[in-house]
Amino acid sequence: MPELPEVEVVRQTLAAAVVGRQVERVVVKRPDVVRVESIPQPTRSRGLSGVLLDQQEMVEVQRHGKQLALIGAVRGAVCVHLGMSGGLRVAEEVRPRWEPHTHVVWHLRGGGAVAFRDARRFGGVWTFPDEAALRTRRWSRLGPDALQITSGQLHGALSRTRRHLKAALLDQGLVAGLGNIYVDELLFAVGLHPRKVAATITRIECSRLVRAMRRLLSRAIAAGGSTLRDYADADGRAGGFQRQHRVYGRGGQMCVRCRRNLATETVAGRTTVACPSCQEGAVG
């Protein structure tokens, strides 16, 4: 469920708590959630901790699409992907409610800790020698970030595929950051049907799509993201954007625009809600 807005809110709240702080000790409770992409020689002897920013000052928390990265002052970049059920939490200590499924804990010098928790383990942690390696080996597979992509870039990507528009927008290799919630909200906002063929989107439609995408994601970030079940930021605060959803989770209810019933169907293997009269261009 964490999509770009939720991940960005986690990034901001996490950065406020950890930038400038030094990692004193790393506890890995479930080693299999940590994927070591390459092992710098000097740290090999310290095992997993050595590649998880142990003894490093954290200088930055970055985000690309739905992925986060903790950057060490001297070396080390740790990519955290929250997947569906993942979360990062800052606390003086890991609370009992957070104990189950907590896989990695970074204890900070001077007190406090950051915990990575992920019940379903669709997410994980990937370690790299530095930021450049993270970008080359992992983030290079992602398309431009949804808040940065230009209309020209998106139109170029969409024009090359006959997939459904929704499937294309969910493809992180085309544009990074959208998930099921925000794609449905976006397509309703611009009045395009999820089952429109991606390549039929005109430059003008794509321009509207990109403007609506920036507006939607920015408003969601400002609202603290969408909390459906248990999403919260790094300080444990829930978001409020779910109250502004116009189609997601509202199948069968009234369209806020035309008052007809919203339809639920499966598109790109995902539950999809759209208004049959306000969103045009469906095929097959």
Which residues lie near DNA (CB under 7 A)? 1, 3, 65-67, 81, 83-85, 100-101, 119-122, 141, 161-164, 167, 170, 172, 179-181, 229-230, 268-271
Closer CB to DNA, residue 109 or residue 148? 148
Q: Among this protein's residues, is 196 annotated catalytic?
A: no
Q: How far is the CB of 121 from DNA (least distance, A)?
A: 5
Q: How far is the CB of 212 from DNA (least distance, A)?
A: 19
Closer CB to DNA, residue 127 or residue 180? 180
Closer CB to DNA, residue 43 or residue 180? 180
Active-site residue identified among 2, 5, 129, 194:
2
Q: How far is the CB of 188 from DNA (least distance, A)?
A: 15
Closer CB to DNA, residue 121 or residue 135? 121
Q: Among this protein's residues, is 203 annotated catalytic?
A: no
Closer CB to DNA, residue 19 or residue 199? 199
* One-character DSSP codes across the chain: ---HHHHHHHHHHHHHHHTT-BEEEEEES-GGGEEES---GGGGGGHHHHTTTTTPBEEEEEEETTEEEEEESSS-EEEEE-TTTEEEEEESS--GGG-TTEEEEEEETTS-EEEEEESS-S-EEEEESSHHHHHHHTGGGS-SBTTT--HHHHHHHHHT--SBHHHHHH-TTTSBS--HHHHHHHHHHHTB-TTSBGGG--HHHHHHHHHHHHHHHHHHHHTT---SSS---TTSPPP-GGGG-SSTT-TTSB-TTT-SBPEEEEETTEEEEE-TTTSB----
Active-site residue identified among 11, 66, 117, 166:
66
Q: Among this protein's residues, is 2 annotated catalytic?
A: yes
Q: How far is the CB of 230 from DNA (least distance, A)?
A: 6
Q: Among this protein's residues, is 66 annotated catalytic?
A: yes
Active-site residue identified among 57, 214, 270, 276:
270
**Active centre residues (catalytic):** 2-3, 66, 270
